[in-house]
Structure formats: C-alpha cells, structure tokens
Structure 1
C-alpha cells in the first residue's frame, strides 16, 4: 500500500496533550508546525520535540523562523537574527569601486545567518524552517516588507543561495516562498485574497526568476495564496498550471511543494466559492502540492478542524477522490535533517558557530 503523509498540523501548547498525540500518530499526518505559543525556554522546546519524535520518528518538525519579525524563538540564548532586508542593504553598502567586495561580504554574512538559524533550531530538535523568502521588495507589501532581501531578483537569488548554504552546513533543508511572488501585491493573504494582474512573462522575468535560478538548490517551495488572473483564476497553491506546468515543467523544480496555511483567507475561496479545509487540501494536493498546512486550530477551535480534515481526507481516499502519492512522500522524507546536530552547549563553543555570530550585523 502506498504511504503518503501530506498533513502538517499544529499542537496546542508547550507539551503534547493526548489529543495532540492521537493526531500526530495518524498515518496521514507528516509533520507539525510550531509557533511562539509552543515555546517557554530551550529545555522545554527540546522536550517537546523529543515528545513529538517519540510519537513517530519520521514526523517533520517545522517552524517559521526567518529572522526579523518572523522568528518564533527569541529568548533563552536564541540569536536575534536580522530581517533579510538588512542583508540586502549590506550588498549595496560598498563604496564606489568596492561594490563587488560588499556583495561578496553580504553573501558571506547570509551564509553565517543561515548556519546560526539552522544550528540553533536543530540543537533543540527542530528539523526545518520555512525560509528563505524569495519575494521581491516592490515597496508596497506590508506582509512582506523587510522579510525580502531586495527588489532585484539577482541579488535576492544570490543572498538566498548563500543563506541556504548556511542551512545546509547545519544539516537543514530549505523552503523558498512564496511562489511565484507575493511582494508585488499590497493585500495580505492572511486576511484577504490578493490579485496580481501582471502577465505571465512579466512575472517570470522578475518575481519568479529566482525559482529557476535556484532549481538545483531549493529543497522545497511554498506557493502564494495570490491569484494571477492572466495565468489562472485559482491562487497559485491550487493551480496545476502554476505548480506542474510552470514551477516543475518550465522552471525545473524537483523538490517538495507545501501549501501555505489553509486557514488563511486566501485559501478559503476557490473558483469564487468558500470551501472546507478538506476540499482546499484535496484541491491543493491534486494541483501539485505534496504537503498541506493547517495552522492555529488547536487554540482557536480546540483542534476540531484538524480532526475534520483528517477524517475528510481519509474518506476522500476511501472514495477515490484523492490518492496517496509515493513520490510526494519521498519528497517529504527528504526534508528530514541530515546528520546529528550539536547539543546546545557544544554548539556555543564550536568555532564555526562563534565565527558565524561574529559576522552577523
């Protein structure tokens, strides 16, 4: 029987409840995403991650931990990482005649940031961070803003590649987001349904360009809950045109595709009507996503929407409306970290880590 665990869900608090354990043990659940509410201190986080792995060793423990305002763990020794815009500013900080040296130094700093980010998370048992942001800073998006490296797709590509090299040194995979680009639209897909009216060629030549240039480096991609009506009437994360024809076919990407959070407003409307989480998940999986996220349901709704999604996807499988994908499961497994992490106390005196800290702005 083909195995495929496409669901990434959240848990309620700083330790697993019986309900959390029950959900995480379900064969359709492939991982957990952590938030600031799951954090008290490093010791507690490490115990929580061990609890999760005790339920199933292959569960992928994820977090949004980019730096700047999107960093879930900030105390008890965790380094305050700069927003990615700071790395872009370093790129352009060179004096006349020294522009190349400044760009190379910025890439080195990006690698250091990636290593610190990945090594600190892994020392506490976290497997994976949804980073780097590949969106371009067009200047009008409040939800992206300083999360973006730069306006220039080439600068963004090289800084992201450097950051991913640092993650790789820590044994951590990466996730480029939000394909094909969220930086041009002003609306926030958490609470709205953004629309980008540009033609395909304009998007491919600019915002989506990093995905082609990084197709040998990206481990995974997260599409945007944005509609690009000149390409498809559906948001990118529910569009086979974007995910299969363009991302995989045209841009050559071969890794895993995550949906963005299905609870966001941009995921609740498909083809002009409101859909259930189960229908949204099935639509995303059929469109080319390998994994789907449903976040922030344990606190707000006592986890009932997660149970409904698990039951709904199980029923859809029995009815033949959704089929497990062995290739997708292989892609999920490949996101698990490589090698053994350094324990925190050993990391704090490791030469590479100390040098990386010295390079951060």
Structure 2
C-alpha cells in the first residue's frame, strides 16, 4: 500500500533516498527549503525522483509569506493574511475591498500553482483555511479573522489554482486558528463547545467542500474534547463520521506530519501511521526524521486500499508547463504586476 509520504535529505538524491523512494509503501514525497538551491537544480531533483518512481505524488508547502519553501528564482508570494489588508489600503468601501481581495487571491493562487507545476511538482499544500485568531502557528497564514471572508478569499485562491490544473489542499481541518499552542512542539487542546467549533471554524471547510473547491484536506493535530478525545488526525469520528459522512467529502485526506509533537500521543512511528490510516487518512506524512520514516516503512501494518490510492493519483499534475517559458507568459506577467 503506497500510503507514506516521505522527504529527501538534500538537493540531489542519495543512494539511501533512492532506496526509500522505491519502497512499495512510499507513494508521496514532500520537498523543503533544504532541497532547493535554484529552479534548474529543483527541476533536476524532481527528474531524479520520477526516474525512481514515475507516479509518485510530489508536494511542497508553498503558501506564501513565511511559509514558502522555494524563494530565490520564484515569485515572492504575500502571506494570505496580507491580501485583505492590501485591498483595504486601496479602497474604503467594504464591498469594493472584498472584490479587490478576491481578485488578488485568485491571481496569487494562479501564480503559485503556475510556478510550482512548471518545475514538475504536483501540489502545494494550500490554502490554509484556518481563521487568523489566537494561534501561535497560524497567524497571517490565515486569510482573515472573519470566517465568511476566509471562505470567500480561499475560494478565489483555489479558483486560481484550478485554472492552472493544481488540486487544492485545505488545512487544518476543522480549524487550528482558535487554539494557541503550536502542534509542531505541543499537543494543543481546544476546549470550546461543539457548536462553537462547528459553526465558526469548521464553517469554512463545510462551505468550500459543498462548493467543490476542496480536493484534499489535512486535519489538525488538535484535540477537541467536547467532540472527541482523540486528535483529529487519529479520530475515526472526525474523519469518517463528520468529514466523510456528514460533510460528504470524497477527496484525499493527508495526515499532518506524524513527526510533530501533536502526533506523539499515538505512540511510535509505526503506531502513529497505523492509527492515522485506520482513522481514515489516505496518505501519511513522515518528515524530517529519516529513522522514523524507515521505521514506518518497515513496521507499519497498512492495509491495501485501492480507493485511497486512486484518490491520491487524482492529484497528480497533468500540466506540461516549462519554467523557462514563464517570463514570456502574459498571465504570469500580469500576476507579477500585482505582487506587493
């Protein structure tokens, strides 16, 4: 079952990287800033990866702002939280501000997807659908504090991605913005009522799922005790009852990185992978810990699920874009003129 998404060590593949990628349990690969020097090096790295496994899903976190793995040689994307603020600096009427912000969001989604796919990468894990509230880790990664504005701008951003052919990944279901702790280094607990979570944070996800904007989702490493005792990514109730059945979501569910502190409650790497997979995740991220990834590959008991594999394959990029031709593309040029 090719359900693991792993990472590689540097800017070119090592012999160990090739061995790990070739394993039948590995179906995805995520790239980080350490894997990037310049566009041509990145194109060569992607070529090497696909020589080992042609249909592997390759991903990156290229959100914009402080979460942008590829910088020099790529457009400097604004944080999502700055888009509405920029529109406010250009207009005073609320309706006009929103329309300007939607236009900018759509163009930034288009630009991000255009550049990422032009180097052979399938998806960026974007956009963040969390509300910019009290979270230490979300902040201006979220579009706004108002769920309705988040929904509107995120829909426009995804429309831009879809124009290029990139599938969207909404994160972090059902919403990480209203809990302060960072799940990379802590186990966040959100003690709000079920009604508050469902009507406020989760409303963004619900609306965008219903409008067919969301192709994949990544659950939060957060516990919501008023709903379930398990972190969302390990919870059959959240992923199967709420997400699949109640919200009707039929896209890919990625686990968030299982090396994060918020995932340690499930045990070692094999146990984390099994718990996330049994809860309903289609693809399991094990990043920034090669020993942990090897343990997951060797020890995790993951059942064969053809439906899950097909969902993941639907995210593969079909585009034949060429990075060297972007500068002469009129749509790319228009987006450049809108950067701020």
The Cα shift of 1:240 comes to 0.8
Richer in helix (by share)? 2
Matches within 5 A, 1:238-253: 238-253=234-249
Within the candidate set 54, 57, 65, 2:54 is matched to 57
Q: Tell whether 2:157 aligns with 1:177.
A: no
Q: Secondary structure at the match of 2:310?
A: helix
Q: Which residue of 2 aligns with 1:291?
A: 283
Within the candidate set 319, 325, 330, 1:339 is matched to 319
Q: Which residue of 1 aligns with 2:269?
A: 277
Which blocks of at least 5 consecutive residues in structure 1 are unaligned? 298-302, 317-321
How many residue pairs get matched?
338
Deviation digits for residues 224-277 of structure 1, max 9, x if unmatched? 00000111111000001111111111122110000000000000013xxxx011
Q: Secondary structure at the match of 1:348?
A: helix
Q: Which residue of 2 aligns with 1:309?
A: 296
Which blocks of at least 5 consecutive residues in structure 2 are unaligned? none
User: CA–CA distance in 1 between the matches of 2:116 and 2:152?
Assistant: 23
User: CA–CA distance in 2 between the matches of 1:232 and 1:324?
Assistant: 27
Deviation digits for residues 15-70 of structure 1, max 9, x if unmatched? 11111111111111011111111011111110000001111111011111100000
The Cα shift of 1:95 comes to 4.6
Q: 1:194, 1:227 within 8 Å by CA — same for their partners in 2?
A: yes
Q: Secondary structure at the match of 1:206?
A: helix
Deviation digits for residues 72-127 of structure 1, max 9, x if unmatched? 0110x21110001111324555755x321221111111111011111111111221
Deviation digits for residues 287-314 of structure 1, max 9, x if unmatched? 01101100101xxxxx22211111112x
Within the candidate set 134, 143, 167, 2:161 is matched to 167
Q: Which residue of 2 aligns with 1:327?
A: 307
Q: Secondary structure at the match of 1:207?
A: helix
Q: Secondary structure at the match of 1:150?
A: coil
Q: Tell whether 2:193 aligns with 1:199.
A: yes
Within the candidate set 92, 102, 109, 1:107 is matched to 102
Q: Which residue of 2 aligns with 1:83?
A: 79
User: CA–CA distance in 1 between the matches of 2:216 and 2:63?
Assistant: 15
User: CA–CA distance in 2 between the matches of 1:209 and 1:92?
Assistant: 24
Q: 2:113, 2:164 within 8 Å by CA — same for their partners in 1?
A: yes
Matches within 5 A, 1:119-268: 119-138=114-133, 140-215=134-209, 216-268=212-264
